[in-house]
């Protein structure tokens, strides 16, 4: 009697473990799938993305945020000109490819951290006055070396 009971008592947990493992595997596969889908989402201009996603309530701050992705290397920024509308919230995502750089703009007191190769920083400021303002790298003589660009606020 006892010997017969033992195997029956043991087998259900084993079957359960098998089922649990299957469930876990399915969940993992599903998660990986979701991750890959999200990753493969058309990379590209996030500026356009933001505009399209203005399903966000009108007047919300996100709706008028203009995003610019810049990379820096000796002695230039990947963007020479940034054009926005007066009142826009401007987001600067700076990544340094080579050397040590930052990004600063005259007139708005906006400046990223000083970054080394491989590092990035993101800052936001409101372009609350119109005009043309120079942005530049404030490291050593980089600005004089031509590490500059134009912020045009219309």
* Residue 70 lies near Cu ion (rule: CB under 5 A): no
* Residue 127 lies near Cu ion (rule: CB under 5 A): no
Return the sign of the alpha-carbon dihedral for residues 71, 77, 83, 86: positive
Tell the smallest beta-carbon distance from residue 153 to Cu ion (Å). Answer: 23
Q: Which stretch binds Cu ion (CB under 5 A): 45-53, 87-95, 115-123, 134-142?
A: 134-142
Q: Which stretch binds Cu ion (CB under 5 A): 8-16, 29-37, 117-125, 145-153?
A: 145-153
DSSP conformational letter for 26: H
Instruction: For residue 57, give every residue at least 6 positions away whose Cβ sits within 8 Å of its Cβ, in sequence order, or none.
Output: 63
* Residue 142 lies near Cu ion (rule: CB under 5 A): yes
Residue in 122, 148, 123, 147 with CA at minimum distance from that of residue 134? 148
DSSP conformational letter for 78: S
* Residue 101 lies near Cu ion (rule: CB under 5 A): yes
The alpha-carbon radius of gyration of the chain (Å, integer) is: 26
Residue 151 vs 153, nearer CB to Cu ion: 151
* Interaction site with Cu ion (CB under 5 A): 101, 137, 139, 142, 147
């Amino acid at each position: 009697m006892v010997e017969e009971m033992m195997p029956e008592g043991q087998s259900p947990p084993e079957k359960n473990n098998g089922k649990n493992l299957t469930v876990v595997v399915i969940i993992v596969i599903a998660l990986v799938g979701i991750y890959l889908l999200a990753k493969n989402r058309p990379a590209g201009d996030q500026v356009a993305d933001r505009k399209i996603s203005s399903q966000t309530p009108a007047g919300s701050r996100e709706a008028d945020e203009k995003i610019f992705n810049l990379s820096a290397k000796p002695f230039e920024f990947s963007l020479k000109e940034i054009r926005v509308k007066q009142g826009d919230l401007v987001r600067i995502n700076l990544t340094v490819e080579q050397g040590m750089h930052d990004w600063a703009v005259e007139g708005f007191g906006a400046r990223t951290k000083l970054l080394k190769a491989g590092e990035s920083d993101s800052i936001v400021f409101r372009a609350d006055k119109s005009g043309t303002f120079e942005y530049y790298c404030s490291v050593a003589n980089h600005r004089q070396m031509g590490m500059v660009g134009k912020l045009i606020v219309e």
